[in-house]
Structure 1
């Protein structure tokens, strides 16, 4: 049986179960009712059993029909795997890697390791898909991406394999307009303030949907804080620059470079046991990694090992 036939028959059975009526099912499939009846009858003759109960409504699969339906579904899954493997081999041959990443994350993270990877594989083309984490995760699951780079690997789907840099700190930027600001102090020592005190200030945050914002929102919920959010932005550099220019407190990963400027703002390391992140690179669990794939992962990890806490 061809892929097309198995797919068609699955659609035919699904429509019959949905409408419990041959005429309406055929109409929904844009085929004639006699043709639909003929196809189902032919299969039942070949198998020597009924697939669908027709003596009462709604239609249901017989026990034999359930086995046949599972068989068709397994064909569909096998075909999907075939397409993934063909796509995988084609990508290897063309030396193209599709990598998903959040735009604000990619702006400062990819320069740290991609140049080293391209030095190893100058003929390899990198296609960056810059989008929200949930969209890139779905693309990776659907084989529309080869890799996904993100933050907080503990929250990703279990059918994805990820390796990470390890735990990293966040830091708060406290400008002059904030009551917590300390004159002539570049970096305020950790544990000077409770994290709830920081979260009760006027805040400039990354937009909802970002990995950072998810963690901050979780802390706001834990401490039952109604935040004073002055502004939100999709770009982490934007919230950082606004905080540095005295608009409000923001929170950024320690991997984002912040120049010390005690006369304008303080830098305050947040406790890693309260809030932390790990940068990860993930691939589908069924992907067979090539030497090129391994080199990409290794260059990613090599930088991370220099920075991890």
Structure 2
């Protein structure tokens, strides 16, 4: 910092000598002694091996080198002051970057609730989003390509640490053309009698939700007629809403599209199908300040537990 303040001093000295044409008048204007002014100028001349003043002329004036040196010092000083201003803005403010991995279907539901609030609260933290399948994001987390994975809590891995955000469940979307307007309870454990042999849409195997569906299907020996497998559960939802086939979706994906569709919506009892959505990060990497801020906000946003407003069964009857 001493060098920066000295550069400001040489600027004042050279500008005053240039204006007054005299060392003595410059000394009077700056309230410092003539020897001090001469010493300041001589030191810079010795440092750069160039004369800054033409001492043969009266009044004194700057040499071409002196004019160039003064101009560059002024530019440097302005850049330094700009840097100081920006750094003061960061004082006491979280800054940095954070790379978040999230599945496409979950991002459309969760991120709109988080990002506007996050950017308002932490405008100097830059977020980068990576939307991939759960298996791809878990691999990206292991390879340190992302800082945080938001999704269904992965199966136990010693490399991962998980922080629960909220708990969700599953619902069956059953087009009326397939259900024949059966009188069904709002929540059941075994959907086998409803879907066995029925046209059905499932997700591809890279989906963490599909892994849960597979485990549930194995437990109750479900045997639907799989017509198509989709990369994203949102596609399965839209196809079911169009009456194409039945499907299972997370409760968090009950949208206006579902409410307006000609469907029966049946919740699977949480006793048999329930899962957590978590923020997952590498246990061997110390959490950065942006990561801590994001997770604190996420837990704040999803308290009370996300989906509480969805607890009532969707009534399409």
Residues 170 and 254 of structure 1 are in contact (CA less than 8 Å); yes or no, is this contact kept in structure 2?
A: yes
How far 1:290 moved relative to its partner? 3.6
Q: Max radius of gyration: which structure?
A: 2
TM-score by length of 1: 0.62
Q: Which residue of 2 aligns with 1:254?
A: 251
Q: Secondary structure at the match of 1:122?
A: coil
Distance across 2 between alignment mates of 1:170 and 1:180 = 22
- Cα RMSD of the aligned pairs, angstroms, is 2.6
Q: Which residue of 2 aligns with 1:227?
A: 224
Residues 95 and 124 of structure 2 are in contact (CA less than 8 Å); yes or no, is this contact kept in structure 1?
A: no
CA distance 1:120–1:302, shift in 2 (3 Å): same
Residues 202 and 249 of structure 1 are in contact (CA less than 8 Å); yes or no, is this contact kept in structure 2?
A: yes
Q: Secondary structure at the match of 2:303?
A: helix
Higher deviation after alignment, 195-204 or 132-141: 195-204
Q: Which residue of 2 aligns with 1:115?
A: 116
| 5+ residue gaps, structure 2 | 1-92, 309-317
Q: Secondary structure at the match of 2:253?
A: coil
Residues 188 and 266 of structure 1 are in contact (CA less than 8 Å); yes or no, is this contact kept in structure 2?
A: no
Q: Which residue of 2 aligns with 1:189?
A: 186
CA distance 1:199–1:167, shift in 2 (3 Å): farther
Q: Which residue of 1 aligns with 2:172?
A: 172
Matches within 5 A, 1:1-309: 95-153=96-154, 155-179=155-179, 181-182=181-182, 188-191=185-188, 194-200=190-196, 201-259=198-256, 261=259, 264-306=262-304, 307=306
How far 1:261 moved relative to its partner? 4.7
How far 1:211 moved relative to its partner? 1.3
Q: Secondary structure at the match of 2:100?
A: strand
Higher deviation after alignment, 263-272 or 222-231: 222-231
| 5+ residue gaps, structure 1 | 1-91
Q: Which residue of 2 aligns with 1:77?
A: none
Residues 242 and 261 of structure 2 are in contact (CA less than 8 Å); yes or no, is this contact kept in structure 1?
A: no
- The number of equivalent residue pairs is 213
CA distance 1:303–1:181, shift in 2 (3 Å): farther
CA distance 1:300–1:197, shift in 2 (3 Å): farther
Distance across 1 between alignment mates of 2:150 and 2:261 = 36
Q: Secondary structure at the match of 2:252?
A: coil
Runs of at least 4 residues off by over 6 Å: none
Q: Which residue of 1 aligns with 2:36?
A: none
How far 1:122 moved relative to its partner? 1.1
How far 1:265 moved relative to its partner? 1.0
